[in-house]
Amino acid sequence: MNSQQGTIVEKNVIKQAGGISSSVNQTELKRKLLTANKSQQMASFFGRMYTMVAAGLLIVVVLSITYFIASKGLSTFFVDKVSFTEFLSGTKWDPEDDPASYGALSFILGSFFVTALAAIIAAPLGIGAAIFMTEIYPKFGKKVLKPVIELLVGIPSVVYGYIGLTVLVPFIRDRFEVLGFSLLAGGIVLAIMILPTITSVATDAIEAVPQDIRNASLALGATRWQTIWNVVLHSSRPGLLTAIVLGMARAFGEALAVQMVIGNTLKLPGSLLDPISTLTSGITLNMGNTIQGTPYNNALWSMALLLLLMSFAFIAIIRILGRKKLVHK
């Protein structure tokens, strides 16, 4: 009995000592965790400073670009005394005439026409490709179509323009017996360029629709296509609209590819087969032939200001659609 009692007492002593040691270790660990580490404090400080400087620099760059373009563009109206109404609604563009004419309506309408045509062509194709990749054959879509679409994004715009110049323009010329350089050619080239953007964003929007909604629709007796048309597309509508607006934003600011196939004339187009001119093509073709600070140069900067304002408008639309998407969820 004495030996057994000694063994029990010894175990109790060891257990108590282990408990005390564990308590001491926990207290020491808490003290180390709660004690400020100078290296961690320095890393956190420099991390916050780096992010603040990066964000501040981004804001400064955006404001500087906006101020620079606005100061140049507004000089047309406040320094050169060109009528704002004439600039937006006039159809005669001849800054070197006496008196000079600064009607930019043909450039403005040309940009809107070619952007709208590109969106009309690319939106159904992009959304259809997104449905195929996510709802019809998702494995094939992710393995084959998605890499192909990513490759299309990386192709330079000059390549699209050159293909349009050597293939599309001669085809339109021979098919319809016209010049070939036309609104139709520019719309098709831009549609191909913005197709990857619309497809990628639309794919993400459709994939974000919960699977339970699809299952509920199928359980109620709806067919696969009825589920896609009435449930999936309806639920992802804000994201699909965002995809279209993003594509239009890129199309509106494209210069080189469009410039190579639209003909660059100052007349308003009477049909899809007529040549046109856009804000971007007008700026790129004429900016190098003007002198800094002249009314002609300032008028081109006013066209650039219109492009910037349209970019802001597209961004605002995307933000509004994004908020509607969050509310919809």
The pLDDT, as a whole number, for residue 14 is 43
Choose the weakest-confidence range: 34-38, 117-121, 132-136, 162-166.
Answer: 34-38
The lowest-confidence range among 128-137, 141-150, 257-266 is 141-150
| Ramachandran category for residue 223: left, alpha or beta (phi over 0 → left; psi -120 to 50 → alpha) | beta
Lowest-pLDDT choice from 233-242, 308-317, 320-329:
320-329
Q: Quote the pTM value.
A: 0.82
> For 73-107, what is each residue's pLDDT tens digit?
999 999 999 999 999 999 899 988 888 899 999 99
